[in-house]
Structure 1
Amino acid sequence: MTLRAATLRRKPVADLVAEGDHGTLKRSLGLGQLTMLSIGATLGSGIFVVLGEAVPVAGPAVVLSFVLAGVTALFSALSYAELAGMIPLSGSSYSYTYATLGELVAWVCGWCLVLEYGVSVASVAVGWGQYLNELLRLAFGFAIPDALSGPPGDGGVVNVPAILVVVLAMVLLLSGAKESARANAVMVVVKIGTLVLFCAIAFSAVQAKNFTPFLPLGLAGLSAGGAKLFFSYIGFDAASTAGEEAENPQRDLPRAILLSLGIVTVLYCLVAVAAVGALPWQRFDGQKAALSHVLDVVSDNPFWAGLLAVGAIVAISSVVLTVLYGQTRILFAMSRDGLVPAALSKVDAKSGSPRTNTLVVSAFVAVLAAFIPLGKLADATSIGTLFAFGLVNVAVLILRRRQPDRPRTFRVPLSPVTPVLGVLCCAYMMLSLDGATWLVFGAWMVLGLLIYFGYGIRKSRLA
């Protein structure tokens, strides 16, 4: 087989579906649990932490930045919904591109997902430590020393709280998917309640003058804020990584993806309006636990800020758990295809979870969370995600052309216009990110290609 033929080889959709139907993972998740999985993976540090970084960039227009990021996510969510119903596998967009664009592009997509899931878990773990410190400060008057609660370059030496939350999530995942889903459902209810509480208090302090000027940094600030806040929508695709553990994947996966995105978008916009309306946008600069800071100022009562910090800790724990879950399932699918070592697709007979995979991923994420600053992690996550989302939109267009009669439980409306808009929006958001982020992304891609041509191309099951 020539090099060109090897990189372009594809897995037929029928083979992928059959693989999922006879997989080793246990089918135990219903629509409610799948929706909670996606909400759990999405609703977290983006609103609790990254909002504080986006407001100084966009000003009050951060509300529209959320809308911009949400519309970009919606185009891709529609494509995910169609493909998840057709190809219900743990590999998510990696599997979709394997069926349409060939093995090399599938590897690149999977490598981007490793960046998306692995790095986003690390970044939200960093945010968890920030809110833990806020809670300790409000409740007990002290905080974990900077040396032990922040990475090098951000005033610290090692982020111990971030390591702790990753280890806790790892323990839950090792107990099995059903047990992890139950724990996540409880945490999702807590964090939705926390954001509703924030809105109730902050809206009582909203002042119209805080919204003027609405675009102090112009349209460039609006789009830069949207690029940063796209990180807040990462995770709606988590349900697609549970394709082999869903009880009725063809019906429930599309519903879970779109339902979760709708719920999250409404909450984000309400919280953003309440936050910038209650506090002048200039006062967000440098605030790591932004929402807790808003309540601390407007209520003049540390109890509410402390309660929100508790909710944020629970919320971010849920994100760490669910996104770490998605990462392990992506590597599970890549391992089953032979592109990464076989040990990563071995399933524990008792718990039904990929044990070695979970341990390896958790160790990788814990190291990232311990030593890399949040801002760099969030931007690197966004660019990898946008690239993968763009490929999903392309996959929809290709399968509509190649297999127009294949049964679909959900169809993207207004295709091909909608998927094309999805590709264009992803490209626009990627171009809004800074040069340093592109440099990191390029280095990550080079490393991935070296691994593929040095290992994956020879070990592939299609070889």
Structure 2
Amino acid sequence: MEQGELKQSLSLYQVIMFGLAYMAPMIVFGTYGTLYETTNGFVPYAYLFATIAMLFTAYSYGQMAKAFPSAGSAYTFVSKSLHPSLGFMVGWTILLDYLFLPLVIWLIGAEYLTTAFPMIPSWAWIIIFIVVTTLVNIIGINTTTSMNLLIMIFQLLVIIIFIILCIWSVMHGMGEGHLVSKHILSLKDNPISPILAGAAIACYSFLGFDAVTTLAEETNDPRKTIPKAIMLITIIGGFLFVLVAYVLSITIPNFNAIHNTESAAFEIAKIVGGNFLSALFLSGLVLAQLASGLSAQTSGARLLYAMGRDGVLNKQIFGFIERRSQTPIFNLLFIGVVGIVGVFMSISTSTSFINFGAFISFAFVNISVIAYYFIKLEKRKGLKWIPYLLVPVIGVILDVSLFLSLDKHALILGGVWTCLGFLYLMYLTKCFSKLPPSLAI
């Protein structure tokens, strides 16, 4: 195969659709039961807090994407603005997201399909997901974005129908019996810690906004397009998550009628819409998992490409672009192989990795804005301290708060992964006697 390079061809609209597909708006249904138990029923506030926290971080990602429009995302931002070794460690931790998120997505999709078609084992659905998404991604990025657009339209239609039927049911006496919930709006007798714990889980749904930065080298005018896309994705996604969580909350105020919290939204669909909505819901959720898996595999492949191109990972394998399809084909295949591990893992085990790396990278991207703009470029005059100091400082505080709200299993597993990365960094730098390959040139 001949070596090629990434081609700039994506528009703002395509990048937004990619990010929303990565977020998979219907995932709010899949995680609703877990969040209900974690927050004591105050799910909308978990998503609201997560949205606010992510907006501050999304702004910082946009600022760094303007300065360094690279496929390396947080790895590149931290390397360029702080230190190459620190950038490597951030890149290493965020690999948890990009390598394990496709696996989690395929696992969730397989679980729902196994429930609907018990005669087919879960491992078979995982293999089918991996083969389909890998083949579509190998064909090329424009095929991926076109497929994501169609699936996104279907997802939004399912969400709209679900919301309409829930509102109709509430107005006819179900649940709260009225659209304004005094219980939820009052936050009476509910401590903030369960909501923070819920927000830490809810942030899993927002990983799409940072993933679009990995498309910078394939986007038209990335210095303008990527920052706009990041903010719009976060705002649109946050609005949908809060709205759906609120509507579900007033439809089923308590879980006495729910048999399995992990499939709570599926049961609610049956209650308010019968077999029609439950079938439509299942179809939408599975397609959402397919679109999200496509986007997650795409982003992971681009991050591996950036690290391979820099020589941090094997350059001949991870830094390779296939000339005709203009895709990092070996990276896509590698992520597919990692996904096969999902056959032997549970959803809870694999998800425990993801947010650990996300919150670390989010915090350091905020710090990068301060280091690059406020300190290095000295953007301090007038009110410039607000976007280049105040906003990222608030972002760091919120990210650290969410990080500390993670369960102990996530912290332990993430800590082990980080230690392995540190040992590998020592090997690359010969015990820090030289810079890692990324900026050694």
Which one of the candidate residues 356, 371, 383 is aligned to 1:383? 356
Q: Which residue of structure 1 aligns with residue 127 of structure 2?
A: 163
Shift of 1:66: 0.4
Q: Aligned partners of 1:71 and 1:123: how far apart in 2?
A: 25
**CA 1:205–1:215: 2 relative to 1, 3 Å:** farther
Shift of 1:44: 4.5
Say if 2:70 and 2:217, in contact at 8 Å, map to a contact too.
yes
Matched, 1:182 2:146: yes
Which one of the candidate residues 20, 25, 43 is aligned to 1:62? 43
Q: Aligned partners of 1:412 and 1:86: how far apart in 2?
A: 17
**CA 1:215–1:60: 2 relative to 1, 3 Å:** farther
Q: Which residue of structure 2 aligns with residue 460 of structure 1?
A: 437
Matched, 1:240 2:213: yes
Q: Aligned partners of 1:28 and 1:405: how far apart in 2?
A: 34
Q: Which residue of structure 2 aligns with residue 119 of structure 1?
A: 100
Say if 2:51 and 2:235, in contact at 8 Å, map to a contact too.
no
Q: Which residue of structure 2 aligns with residue 432 of structure 1?
A: 405
Matched, 1:251 2:224: yes
Q: Which residue of structure 1 aligns with residue 345 of structure 2?
A: 372
**CA 1:216–1:375: 2 relative to 1, 3 Å:** farther
Shift of 1:327: 0.6
Q: Aligned partners of 2:298 and 2:385: how far apart in 1?
A: 27
**CA 1:304–1:45: 2 relative to 1, 3 Å:** closer
Which one of the candidate residues 231, 236, 261 is aligned to 1:263? 236
**CA 1:229–1:346: 2 relative to 1, 3 Å:** same
**CA 1:449–1:375: 2 relative to 1, 3 Å:** same
RMSD: 2.2
Q: Tell me the SS of whatever aligns to 1:244.
A: helix
Matched, 1:443 2:416: yes
Say if 2:176 and 2:253, in contact at 8 Å, map to a contact too.
no
Matched, 1:143 2:118: yes
Matched, 1:359 2:333: yes
Query: C-alpha deviations, 1:387-415, integer Å up to 9, x for none?
Result: 00000000000111344379xxxx99643
Q: Aligned partners of 1:460 and 1:346: how far apart in 2?
A: 17
Shift of 1:165: 1.2
Of all paired residues, the percent bearing the same amino acid is 23
Return 5+ residue gaps in structure 2 as ranges. none
Map 1:298-337 onto structure 2 (within 5 A): 298-299=272-273, 301-337=274-310
Q: Aligned partners of 2:340 and 2:368: how far apart in 1?
A: 33
Q: Aligned partners of 1:412 and 1:312: how far apart in 2?
A: 43
Q: Which residue of structure 1 aligns with residue 373 of structure 2?
A: 400
Q: Aligned partners of 1:313 and 1:179: how far apart in 2?
A: 19
Shift of 1:182: 1.0
Query: C-alpha deviations, 1:123-146, integer Å up to 9, x for none?
Result: 121111233235x3xxxxx5246x
Q: Aligned partners of 1:123 and 1:47: how far apart in 2?
A: 15
Q: Tell me the SS of whatever aligns to 1:115.
A: helix
**CA 1:281–1:120: 2 relative to 1, 3 Å:** farther
Q: Which residue of structure 2 aligns with residue 152 of structure 1?
A: none
Query: C-alpha deviations, 1:287-334, integer Å up to 9, x for none?
Result: 3333222111233x1111110110111111111110111111111111
Q: Aligned partners of 2:210 and 2:156: how far apart in 1?
A: 19
Which one of the candidate residues 249, 259, 268 is aligned to 1:276? 249
**CA 1:281–1:164: 2 relative to 1, 3 Å:** farther
Return 5+ residue gaps in structure 1 as ranges. 1-22, 137-141, 150-158
Query: TM-score by structure 2 length?
Result: 0.89
Which has the higher mean CA deviation after the structures are superposed, 320-329 or 453-462? 453-462
Which residue identity does 1:49 align to in structure 2? Answer: G
Map 1:6-45 onto structure 2 (within 5 A): 24-44=5-25
**CA 1:89–1:41: 2 relative to 1, 3 Å:** same
**CA 1:296–1:327: 2 relative to 1, 3 Å:** same
Q: Which residue of structure 2 aligns with residue 204 of structure 1?
A: 168
Q: Aligned partners of 2:221 and 2:385: how far apart in 1?
A: 20
Which residue identity does 2:70 align to in structure 1? Answer: L
Which residue identity does 1:229 align to in structure 2? Answer: A
Say if 1:211 and 1:277, in contact at 8 Å, map to a contact too.
no
Q: Aligned partners of 1:257 and 1:405: how far apart in 2?
A: 25
Shift of 1:48: 3.0
**CA 1:188–1:357: 2 relative to 1, 3 Å:** same
Say if 1:338 and 1:456, in contact at 8 Å, map to a contact too.
no
The count of corresponding residues between Structure 1 and Structure 2 is: 418
Shift of 1:247: 1.4
Which residue identity does 1:85 align to in structure 2? Answer: K
Say if 1:170 and 1:359, in contact at 8 Å, map to a contact too.
yes
Say if 1:339 and 1:456, in contact at 8 Å, map to a contact too.
no
Q: Aligned partners of 2:159 and 2:189: how far apart in 1?
A: 27
Matched, 1:191 2:159: no
Q: Aligned partners of 2:210 and 2:409: how far apart in 1?
A: 26
Shift of 1:219: 2.1
